[in-house]
Amino acid sequence: MTNKLEVDGVILEFDSKRVLQNVYLKSETGKVTGLLGRNGTGKSCLMKIIYGELLPNDSSIRLDGKPIYNEFRNPTDIMYLPQGHFIPKSLTIKTIFKHFQLDFSDFITEFPEFKKLYKERFKNLSGGEQRILEIYLILASDSKFCLLDEPFSQIMPLHLETIKRLILKEKRDKGIIITDHLYKHILDICDELYVIDEGKTYLTKGLQDLETLGYTRINTLPEMKMCNYTKTYI
């Protein structure tokens, strides 16, 4: 089954300063939707609005055409990876996997070095290990949509490709929205790419748009990194 998540009509103001306006973003089952923008343009705010953690001045959020009115989302509909850690530090890895109803053996198939940490508490993991665990929990959960805010930060290069492979695997059954300053990784895996500029979202039609919108220069982009997005438009 294909599910569709849409957000538009977003207006967000802080102390009379308008951060977001005229925003539209769509995510669908089977697609990775990238979200880019310079610092302070409201990427994380938009993620929190979609999840229900931040209440905007106005917005319309629809799941399969039906408006969502409640503040926090049903985890079977939307899961959210914030920039900060969200797992209670006192919990053991064993307890965490039981709570999320996930199979630890599937996890160590991708990250075998965690096998010895099964009975450890979350607080005893390194920052990078904590981040890998949280990314996996969000991605592997039985949810229609995943929002990933800065998933590639704090991750060793050794694990970046594994995480990107997991994202591509999980998108078969859900829609994924992802933002990260390490944008080259997003270009590797995204099917559609939005850029926030001056409070508005723009669905890009090619890499040239990233330069036009002032996000980057074409000659700084990775050579021949052909993801679904670049294949579509180049």
- Which pLDDT score, from 0 to 100, does residue 16 have? 81
- Which pLDDT score, from 0 to 100, does residue 87 have? 96
Q: What is the pTM of this model?
A: 0.90
- Which pLDDT score, from 0 to 100, does residue 218 have? 54
- Which pLDDT score, from 0 to 100, does residue 124 have? 97
- Which pLDDT score, from 0 to 100, does residue 158 have? 87
Element (H, E) at 82: none
Would you give the DSSP letter of residue 121? B
> Which architecture, in CATH terms, is 4-85+143-233?
3-Layer(aba) Sandwich (3.40)
CA–CA separation, 231 vs 26, rounded Å? 20
Q: Which of 216, 64, 59, 85 is nearest to 151 (CA)?
A: 85
Q: How many residues does the chain have?
A: 234
**E strands along 69-212, which residues?**
78-81, 145-149, 175-179, 192-197, 200-203
Write out residues in the chain with pLDDT < 70, as ranges. Answer: 71, 217-234
- Which pLDDT score, from 0 to 100, does residue 1 have? 82
Give backbone dihedrals phi and psi of 229, rounded to 5 degrees, phi first. Answer: -60, -50
218: burial class by Cβ within 10 Å (0-12, 13-18, 19+)?
Answer: exposed
CA–CA separation, 177 vs 147, rounded Å? 5
CA–CA separation, 223 vs 227, rounded Å? 12
- Which pLDDT score, from 0 to 100, does residue 59 have? 87
